[in-house]
Amino acid sequence: MIRLLFVSLIISTISVIGQSHKDYLSGPFNSPQEVTTECLNCHENAAKEIMLTNHWTWLNEEFVDANNNKVQMGKKNFINNFCIAVPSNYPRCTSCHVGYGWKDATFDFKAEQNVDCLVCHEQSGTYVKVPTGAGMPDAKVDLLVSAQSVGKTTRKNCGICHFDGGGGTGVKHGDLDDSLYDPKPETDYHMGALGFTCS
């Protein structure tokens, strides 16, 4: 069900995302949360829909364990390769969260303004998160330029966390690295030969 909602979100926003946002966004933006608030003026349900995905919750579907207890596991509460676990280093681990400010266990998962629209849709190439900043963008990022550049999610948007997570290329996911930004068909047939873009 969550996957279906996520696909619906992508499909429903493609026609609008294909349009330039320069005429819609004038700023100034003093915080990334102000950008999200502005996005939600038109994309009213986007934050709610993202909040139902494991990109937001960092939890997978619930299952019943051997003791008949309902359990939900995921990146949020699981030992996660050499990075160990999120609670041991919230600000570093959550630099790849699709939200702003998850620095400890008090993070408000219901605050829509904490959803980071830019990490998935920014196309200027200037949007970067602080590696130990709990998902916050670098102070040097021009939020207006980033917001006005939004478009359809690309392989680069996804790759920043999925190819370069954990501090470097291929560190977090050994089978995903920088070679996938523009792969040859023999490296990844779907991306290299068929043009799969992750969106």
Spans of all domains in the chain? 2-153
> Per residue in 155-185, pLDDT tens?
898 888 888 777 787 777 778 888 888 889 9
Q: What does the pLDDT read at residue 3?
A: 52
Whether residue 56 is predicted with pLDDT greater than 90 in this model: the reply is yes
Q: What does the pLDDT read at residue 9?
A: 45
> Per residue in 91-136, pLDDT tens?
888 888 999 999 999 999 999 999 999 999 999 999 999 988 999 9
Dist. CA 110–CA 10, nearest whole Å: 21
Bridge-based pairing of strands 70-71 and 63-64 is antiparallel
Strand segments (E) across 60-194: 63-64, 70-71
- H or E element, residue 46: helix 46-50
| Residue 110 CB burial class (10 angstroms; 0-12, 13-18, ≥19) | exposed
Q: What does the pLDDT read at residue 5?
A: 44
Alpha carbon distances (Å) from 178 to 154, 156, 191, 195: 14, 9, 13, 16
User: pTM above 0.85?
Assistant: no
Q: Could you identify the residue written with the tokens 């959803």?
A: 115
Q: What does the pLDDT read at residue 45?
A: 97
Q: Tell me the chain's radius of gyration from C-alpha atoms.
A: 17
Dist. CA 69–CA 96, nearest whole Å: 30
Strand partners, 63: 71
In this prediction, what percent of the chain has a pLDDT beyond 90? 43
Counting DSSP H helices and E strands in the chain, the numbers are: 9, 2
